[in-house]
Amino acid sequence: MTRTFRILRPLALAAFATATLMLGACHRGGNVAPDQVRAANVPANFDVTLLADKSNQFDFDGAPLTVEDLRSAFRYRLEEHLPMSTVLLKRGEKQKITKEHISSLARVSLEMKFKAFMVEKDGGISEIMPVDKSDK
């Protein structure tokens, strides 16, 4: 019986070494491709995620909200001291992001002083930069 242990041990070590090498070859140094590196001003995660919904509404935690309702929901978050510094707008299941979605979110972000971002068609994330016309 001691001979079987002497034969099985090198085989087990060889199998373990092969499996380790195969896993190491699959890893290739990271999980982000070089062309998918985030821009410097894009945060790693967001406090609030919205989905574009039909009729220029927003889907916030499963509830369709008008712009006024969205303002109220954000005011509630501020009153409850919930994080509210970054908001991400994504394409809805059946609705693309429209210019109205962008301009509405830009107005709310300017009014409530948070940074708004959106997911582009190509999957990249860009910041929505509101312009305060009263400054001009």
**Residue 39 banded pLDDT, cuts 50, 70, 90:** low
Neighbours of 65 (CB within 10 A): 18
CA distance 127 to 82: 21
**pLDDT tops 50 at residue 38:** no
Model confidence band, residue 131 (pLDDT cutoffs 50, 70, 90):
confident
Confidence at residue 43, expressed as pLDDT on a 0 to 100 scale: 87
SS3 (DSSP) at 45 = coil
Model confidence at 44: pLDDT above 80: yes
Instruction: Give the separation between CA 74 and CA 83, rounded to whole angstroms.
Output: 10
